[in-house]
């Protein structure tokens, strides 16, 4: 079958061809109506915005909750924090993401009225961020527990407080070990951001559903959207791979280097 890529240079108002495909974005034709390509790129920017915002929320909360889960228990405040962070993880990873998005959009603002003023992309980002933070928290916990117990003991022996031993010894090691699974999680986040269409964030999935109905060019539209999702997730993969290479602790993390095999 042949592809009709001309669909992207069509006007979104009446389906006529436009003079400049990038009319609205580069200001080539100020008075011209936006083309489907303009719309596609705008939708992509929404996908990036939602994924980026939720990534920040997920990383901060995930690192915090994962750390809290490993606090040495002393029966006091620490035990409370451990229980709190465990509840956080179990709550947010046991509810389907689409349900969580609806909860944040329709249900929670009904009880906390100020949240109604928050734009929907913020609410979606919070939902996605919290959901992903629960998963990242488990990776952080796994990373911390994978460290030899001697490290914590040595930190204590040096006279470091609990906070200091996490800050200077445990977390710098643990966070580096978990980069490979973290990479998967970040790539998943880009793909999961497609649920945002359900609460009227005009991102790529919404564009695909709407534009294919208007143009009857489903194959071309979905190909373009697939390409952009794949490109975005792959870019995240490359950035994380770079970080992984640069932050590797020599001799500690098993690499492909044959000389380190034992």
Report the run of H or E that residue 246 belongs to, with start and end: helix 218-246
Q: Which is nearer to other proteins, 72 or 218 (CB)?
A: 218
Q: Which is nearer to other proteins, 210 or 255 (CB)?
A: 210
- By CB under 8 A, residue 209 contacts other proteins: yes
Of 138-146, 151-159, 198-206, 220-228, the segment contacting other proteins by CB under 8 A is: 198-206
Q: Which of 13, 117, 163, 261 binds other proteins (CB under 8 A)?
A: 13
- 32, 78, 86, 120: which one contacts other proteins (CB under 8 A)? 120
Q: How far is the CB of 14 from other proteins (least distance, A)?
A: 7
Given candidates 161, 180, 213, 260, which one binds other proteins under the rule CB under 8 A? 213
Tokens standing for residue 45:
């920017």
DSSP-based helix, strand, coil % in the chain, nearest 5: 75, 0, 25
The count of residues in the chain is 262
User: Site map for other proteins, 62-101, x if CB under 8 A?
Assistant: ----------------------------------------
CA distance 188 to 190: 5
CB 169 within 8 A of CB 179: no
Closest distance of CB 7 from other proteins, Å: 13
State yes or no: residue 7 binds other proteins (CB under 8 A). no
Is 198 a binding residue for other proteins by CB under 8 A? The answer is yes
Q: Which two tokens stand for residue 154?
A: 């040595």
Reference 119, options 105, 137, 102, 133; nearest CA is 105
45 binds other proteins (CB under 8 A): no
Kindly tell me which of 103 and 142 has the beta carbon lying closer to other proteins: 103
Look at residues 93, 134, 120, 257 and name the one whose alpha carbon lies nearest to residue 201.
Answer: 120
Is residue 117 close enough to count as binding other proteins by CB under 8 A?
no
Q: What is the residue-wise DSSP string for 171-224?
A: HHHHHHHTHHHHHHHHHHHHHHGGGGGGGT---HHHHHHHHHHHHS-HHHHHHH
Q: Which residues bind other proteins (CB under 8 A)?
A: 12-14, 33, 106, 110, 116, 120, 197-200, 202, 206, 209-210, 213-214, 216
């Amino acid at each position: 079958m042949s592809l009709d890529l001309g669909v992207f240079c069509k006007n979104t108002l009446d389906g006529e061809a436009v003079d400049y495909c990038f009319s609205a974005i580069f200001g080539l034709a100020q008075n011209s109506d936006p083309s489907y390509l303009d719309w596609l790129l705008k939708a992509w920017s929404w996908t990036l915005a939602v994924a980026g915002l939720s990534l920040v929320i997920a990383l901060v909360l995930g690192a915090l909750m994962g750390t809290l889960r490993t606090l040495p228990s002393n029966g006091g405040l620490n035990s409370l924090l451990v229980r709190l962070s465990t509840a956080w993880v179990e709550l947010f990873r046991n509810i389907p993401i689409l349900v969580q998005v609806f909860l944040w959009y329709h249900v929670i603002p009904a009880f906390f009225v100020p949240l109604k003023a928050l734009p929907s992309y913020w609410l979606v980002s919070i939902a996605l961020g919290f959901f992903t933070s629960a998963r990242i928290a488990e990776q952080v916990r796994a990373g911390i527990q994978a460290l030899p117990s001697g490290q914590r003991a040595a930190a204590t022996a040096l006279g470091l407080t609990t906070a200091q031993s996490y800050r200077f010894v445990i977390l710098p090691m643990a966070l580096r070990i978990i980069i490979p699974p973290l990479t998967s999680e970040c790539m998943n986040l880009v793909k999961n951001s497609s649920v945002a269409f359900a609460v009227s964030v005009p991102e790529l999935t919404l564009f695909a559903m709407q534009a294919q109905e208007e143009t009857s060019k489903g194959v071309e539209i979905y190909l373009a959207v697939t390409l952009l999702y794949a490109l975005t997730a792959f870019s995240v993969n490359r950035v994380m791979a770079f970080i992984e290479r640069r932050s590797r602790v020599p001799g500690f993390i098993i690499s492909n280097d044959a000389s380190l095999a034992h």
